Homo-oligomer: A and B are copies of this chain.
Amino acid sequence: MPRAIYDHVALIGLGLIGSSLCHAMRRGGLARRITGHARSEATRQTADRLRLCDAVFADPAEAVAGADLVILCTPVGRYGAIAEAIRPALKPGATLTDVGSVKGAVVRDVGLYVPDGVHFVPGHPIAGTEHSGPEAGFAELYDGRWCILTPLPGSDPDAVARLQRFWEGCGASVELMTPEHHDRVLAIVSHVPHLIAYNIVGTASDLEQVTQKEVIKFSASGFRDFTRIAASDPIMWRDIFLNNKDAVLEMLGRFVEDLTSLQRAIRWEDGDALLDLFTRTRAIRRGIIEAGQDTAAPDFGRPHGAGPAEKKKTA
């Protein structure tokens, strides 16, 4: 077994992110002991059945007692209450981190409760699927993904470096930036895309001239990819929008401005303006393929023949 990076890791929250961390830690031998907290009895039972942790607690303070690394893996909206609850139980010298998709609000909500002698290093692994819950986790979730750490001005460099080694042990590559910059980057690459995906799926389901059945049937023509994004965990995403309000509203404002100009180009049949944008956007896609962040296989290599024809065969 490789040398553990932390003796004892405590996970607060055992959904997709927390349960994947359990699998990844075991795969890499990154911790000698894993404890966990889940609010719901059902999640605790599932965690026990899947043997995700060595011990699971209903009380978050019990879960963090003695831990060298504490990772908050609940929706961001619950962080403040949890930080307050675990404060007395945090071990001096421990590192406290999180996996939340916003960072400014986390510094604001959690920072207040961090005792002297505990290292607070906010983090955000850029990984996920549209599935949630303790059964959705898998060891490979972080492989080849980025994890952003946003150390504070007074963060202990050794604590940051150790947390970085931990995430690398989970398969991720680590990047450091300020909480403010993180929130701007994520607003454009993640939060606003999710918002417009949720929005168009909502618009489509409200139409009176086109039935929901037709929307579902012909979704492969573009809409389908939006529905995957719009199937993400609702509570997690509500909390993201409420906690990254300023950056999201700023990026959304730019998006709407650009969309209005496209709308005008269509109304006035300005084909050159459309062609210009549609050509420019291809370069970004090439950059993503070259950076290894996606596969170039047509249609993501989705199996062909799993649609209506498939059903025909069995009918």
Residues of A within 8 A of B (CB): 101, 126-131, 136, 138, 140-141, 143-146, 148, 171-173, 175, 181, 184-186, 188-207, 209-210, 212, 214-232, 234-235, 237-239, 241-242, 245, 248-249, 251-252, 254-256, 258-260, 262-263, 266-267, 269, 271, 274-275, 277-288, 291-295, 298-312
Contacts and interface: CB of A to CB of B under 8 A. Distances in A.
Contact of A300 (B141, B215, B228): B228
Contacts of A228: 225, 285, 294, 300
Nearest to A265: B241
Contact of A237 (B210, B274, B311): B274
A227 B173 contact: no
Contacts of A291: 216-217, 219, 307-308
A145 B307 contact: yes
Given A209-B184, A288-B216, A308-B173, A281 B130 contact: no
Contacts of A237: 274, 278
Contacts of A299: 129
A278 B238 contact: yes
Nearest to A299: B129
Contacts of A197: 222
Given A281-B227, A304-B143, A194 B222 contact: yes
Contacts of A251: 203
A83 B251 CA distance: 45
Given A140-B304, A295-B306, A126 B173 contact: no
